[in-house]
Amino acid sequence: MTPEYKADFYTWAKHNAQLLRSGQADQADWENIAEELDSMGNSERRSLKSHLRNLLMHLLKWQHQPQRRGKSWRQTISNSRMEVADILKDSPGLKPQFAELITEAYSEARRVAGQETGVSVSSFPALCPYSITEIMELEFWPS
């Protein structure tokens, strides 16, 4: 009996993995396998965008609220840079989308930074003020 994709994902995944390993690819549920692979790729992209949003938000806060700078913000910026670098290392196919993701993430980061700081969103530049190099540079701290 073949486990159904929607009824028991875990058993379905294990079953299809076993089919592929045993050379029985003709019996695999290729349509749903393809869907899962697409979903995994989209998940990596969302994760990269999320880490970029967090990084950009904290860079804005760092720049626009120097009196509030502390170890926590510094650590968050450093950790976000490492997460972004790790994702790009593991999924280099995302590199061509990096500039686009920065643009998307920045508009969200700008809004959240405004909410968290109480600073008017219009106080932050409309376009990301940091270059890709600055965003990823471990020693870059906007002033």
Q: Is the pLDDT reported for residue 10 higher than 80?
A: yes
With bands split at pLDDT 50, 70 and 90, how would you rate the model's confidence at 5?
confident
Q: Which band of pLDDT confidence, cut at 50, 70 and 90, is reported for residue 1?
A: low
Count of domains in the chain? 1
In a domain, 142, yes or no: no
pLDDT confidence of residue 2: 63
In a domain, 141, yes or no: no
Q: How far is CA 52 from CA 33, 86, 96, 134, in A?
A: 29, 12, 15, 13
Domain with 89 in it: 9-136
What was the pLDDT predicted at 4?
A: 85
Q: Is there a domain that residue 57 lies in?
A: yes
Q: Could you tell me if residue 18 is inside a domain?
A: yes
Q: Is residue 4 part of a domain?
A: no
Single pTM value for the model: 0.85
Q: Cβ–Cβ contacts within 10 Å for residue 87, how many?
A: 19
- Does residue 53 lie within any of the structural domains? yes
Per the model's pLDDT, the better-predicted residue between 1 and 38 turns out to be 38
